[in-house]
Structure 1
Amino acid sequence: MNLKTINSVRTNNFKDERIMEKITGMWKESTKVLKNKDAVVYGLYYDYESNYKGDYSLSVATEGTGDEASIEIPSDNKYEMFIVDPTDEQGVYKTWKKIWESEEKGTLNRAYTYDFEKYYPNGTIEIYIAIK
């Protein structure tokens, strides 16, 4: 899968005091650029320093190629998919919390390559976690 990045930030879930400001700003700026309201939009997590407690890069992306701002996701990556409750304002955060808890319990063996949130035009949200 090839994803064209729109906007990116580097952050940390636990050490970056400006994490919400960075992520919210990145999404707001990206929506100004996104023309096709019927396109699937991705929140792409990559360039992990270590695990979910370390620094990582996050990009807003769409499917496509053709410029220097595209990232190729290897087709042989294996994923576990989590469905987000779109009616819950905190649904994405709660799903990530569940992912981190699963990892801490040893029931999710993350690869820390490329993870992504997939936002469909109909409101459905899925989170794909790369696994070993």
Structure 2
Amino acid sequence: MAYTLQEVTIRTNNSEEGTKKIGEIWRDITSGKLPIIFDTAHTFQQGVSPVSKYSNYSSDESGDYDLTIMAVTVDFFQKMETAVSKGLYKKYDETDENGEIGVCTRKAWEKVWLEQKSGNIKRSFAEDYESTVPSEYTKDGKSHCYLYIAIQ
């Protein structure tokens, strides 16, 4: 019998070691070792997208937090767009022309941190979400990173 996980959580931070742990969990998910987007029989789960949830912050982006990789469907993104329209979240959408997921992700987070530092946003550090889409799954051939940052 094949099964899938709905989510998996680790406690980490933005240190070099923490970033390494994040990379390891993503490798386990994309390889199917952790059955989030593939089931245990290595069958891709149609209609499911992996999304990172950042929560349980000990302080701010410099402290520890929980990283949960969740299996979501299109209704998750519809709910997030509603939260953005209500002013509960701010959405960031960054791309990379060369298809490098890491580049567009870094660009998105750097924009958040710059806006935070300049006082343009005030983060609540409640629950933030990140969805990255590799270039082979996009119509424009670019990698995309979508961030939903909880604001006050």
Q: Tell me whether the two structures share a fold, i.e. TM-score over 0.5.
A: yes
Distance 1:99 1:109 in 2: 10
Query: Per-residue CA shift, 1:41-94, capped at 9, x if unaligned?
Result: 201100001111111111111127xxxxxxxx9x78810000021435211012
Q: Which residue of 2 aligns with 1:83?
A: 93
Name the aligned partner's letter for residue 128 of structure 1: Y
Query: Per-residue CA shift, 1:18-39, capped at 9, x if unaligned?
Result: 1232011111112211221542
User: Is it true that 1:92 corresponds to 2:105 in the alignment?
Assistant: yes
Higher RCO structure (Cα 8 Å, ≥6 apart): 1
Q: Which residue of 1 aligns with 2:51?
A: 42
Q: Which residue of 1 aligns with 2:130?
A: 117
Decide whether the 8 Å contact of 2:13 with 2:19 is kept in 1. Answer: no
Q: Which has the larger radius of gyration?
A: 2
Structure 2 unaligned blocks of 5 or more:
39-44, 74-79
Structure 1 unaligned blocks of 5 or more:
65-72
Q: State the identity as a percent.
A: 25
Task: Give runs of ≥4 in structure 1 deviating > 4 Å.
Answer: none
Displacement of 1:125: 2.9
> Given the two structures, how large is their TM-score scaled by the length of structure 1?
0.76
Greater helix proportion: 2
Name the aligned partner's letter for residue 120 of structure 2: T
Greater strand proportion: 1
> Given the two structures, how large is their TM-score scaled by the length of structure 2?
0.67
Decide whether the 8 Å contact of 2:55 with 2:128 is kept in 1. Answer: yes
Distance 2:87 2:126 in 1: 8
